[in-house]
Structure 1
Amino acid sequence: MLELPKLDLKNKVSPEEWQTRVDLAACYRLVEDMGWGDLIYTHISAKVPGTDHYLVNAFGLSFDEVTASNLVKVDLEGNILDNTPFKINPAGFTIHSAVHEVRSDAHCVLHLHTKESIAVASLKNGLQPLSQYSCFALGSLGYHQYEGLAVNHEEKTRLQADMGEYNYLLLSNHGALTVGPTVGDAFMRMYDLQRACEVQLLIQSTGQEAIPVVPEIVEGISNQANVVHSGSTGGQKSWPAMLRRAYRLDPSFES
């Protein structure tokens, strides 16, 4: 069995960076537990507070191997800033850097290849208003056409234009992307989008005519959610519980 290098950055970075590392590592573990992983592929990135630097997973590690210390710190060009034995997936960070460049509010970018999000992203009519989950996404949802592996620098401009001010993005033939001001917000937005895709495919598999949510409800759901969350976001409300879940699953992510 090949053992991973043991790193310990807890007392070598700022408290703010360490907390971001812990939250991001927990998010990787939760994504794996949800069955949303894709072997060593797909990525979640988070901004180091007070800097223009970002944390992302080491290329070659499965999500259940990610820890706070083995996350790799990079700049927007993908240059590695840590003294680390790990590398990153340049194709993966192309997508993340494109979003981080133009969205100062997107402190966390979560990109996945779940089979359900790929399926719905590849439908001509995309995501439909068929569930409460879909309503959360539809008010802030964009689409990006597939251009192959994200190694073409010119694609970044088109991705940025398609992302705009949206918080959810479906990438045709490819998967899904969500952003948020915190790791928890990006995670919960992906949870809602993933559930929306799962429910839509389940409804469509019956072959029966669905009952769509009326546009007025879709347009007003954000205000209703603000009432439920008492002025905070869904991610801020749910993340402490999700973090506790990550610790119960395997507290080694904090190392």
Structure 2
Amino acid sequence: MSANVASMPKLTNLPFYEERVDLAAAFRWTARLNMHEAVANHFSLAVNDEGTRFLMNPNQVHFSLIKASSLLLLDANDPKTMDQPDAPDPTAWGLHGSIHRHLPHARCVMHVHSIYATVLASLADSRLLPIDQNCATFFNRYAIDDSYGGLAFEDEGERCARLLKNPKHKVLIMGNHGVLVLGKDVADAFNRMYYFERAAETYIKALQTGQKLRVLSDDVAEKVAQEIEDYPGQCERHLADLKILLEQQEPDYLN
């Protein structure tokens, strides 16, 4: 947390307040980037060691309105979750509940239908070739789902969770659907989601030129991806600065 946030009086006694602030900031900035989808799409953050208890946005609330207190605290193993009066969106429960139930390494999960990632997911060949540094960041670090079966209710969510068992795969390119990004925390997941959309935009626009692509070798692409993974502090600084801007411009996200 930035010094400004840390010094502010907490307006609630909600559990996991700092985690809520980080996640609320991610929602607000995703809306600013126009990577949201009206009142759909969802982010979640595990808050216990097993990864089964998690925070997630409430059912059908615009990302730009999310506050720290808005977030639901859910248990992936609670069969009565969808019977509660404040139940989450059923597709959010199906997708995020399944991932948090089965993948303890998936601490933060972000799912969007951002334009360029979704265009990539709509191509018959949805690979992201390493044509620049951002694209190379994801070399051998994503899985492709080519078996879209409809809205992400629980069966579809379980199937998607199985595609992410390899801890090296931090991105799921969801064929005919969108993208899902994993991270060790909110900063890690948000930074990855941001750069994946940037990479997809570069790649799609390069394809639109109709010219032959300058594709990096596997060795260089892997070297770049590893160097980015080892680069210190970028994702934390990225989120911290966004939170400073939000404190100045939209401080109600802290409530």
TM-score by length of 2: 0.86
Distance 1:147 1:71, change over 3 A: same
Summarize the alignment of residues 1-255 of structure 1 with structure 2, pairs less than 5 Å apart: 10-14=11-15, 17-49=16-48, 52-77=52-77, 79-80=80-81, 86-126=86-126, 127-144=128-145, 145-151=147-153, 153-165=154-166, 166-226=169-229, 228-229=231-232, 232=233, 234-255=234-255
Gaps of 5+ in 1: 1-8
Q: Aligned partner of 2:103: which letter?
A: R
Contact 1:138 1:218 in 2 (8 A): yes
Q: Matched residues in 2 for 1:239 and 1:174: separation?
A: 27
| CA distance in structure 2 between the partners assigned to 1:182 and 1:114 by the alignment | 20
Percent of paired sites with the same residue: 25
CA 1:252–1:85: 2 relative to 1, 3 Å: farther
Specify the SS of the correspondent of 1:137: coil
Residues 10 and 74 of structure 1, relative CA distance in 2, 3 Å threshold: farther
Give the whole-Å Cα distance in 2 for the aligned partners of 1:132 and 1:190: 15
Aligned partner letter, 1:28: F
* Per-residue Cα deviation, 1:202-246 (whole angstroms, up to 9, x for no partner): 1111111111122111111233225542xx5x4224221122233
Partners of 2:85 and 2:69 lie apart in 1 by: 12
Question: Secondary structure, in 3 states, of the residue corresponding to 1:142?
Answer: strand
1:10–1:18 CA contact under 8 A, matched in 2: no
Cα-to-partner distance string for 1:156-192 (whole Å, 9 max, x where unaligned)? 3421221122111100010001111110000011011
Unaligned stretches of 5+ residues in structure 2: 1-9
TM-score by length of 1: 0.86
C-alpha spacing 1:201/1:250, structure 2 compared with 1 (3 Å): same
The letter for the 2-side match of 1:34 is L
Distance 2:248 2:204 in 1: 31
SS of residue paired to 2:69: coil
Aligned partners of 2:130 and 2:216 also within 8 Å: yes
Amino acid at match of 2:228: A
RMSD of aligned alpha carbons: 2.2
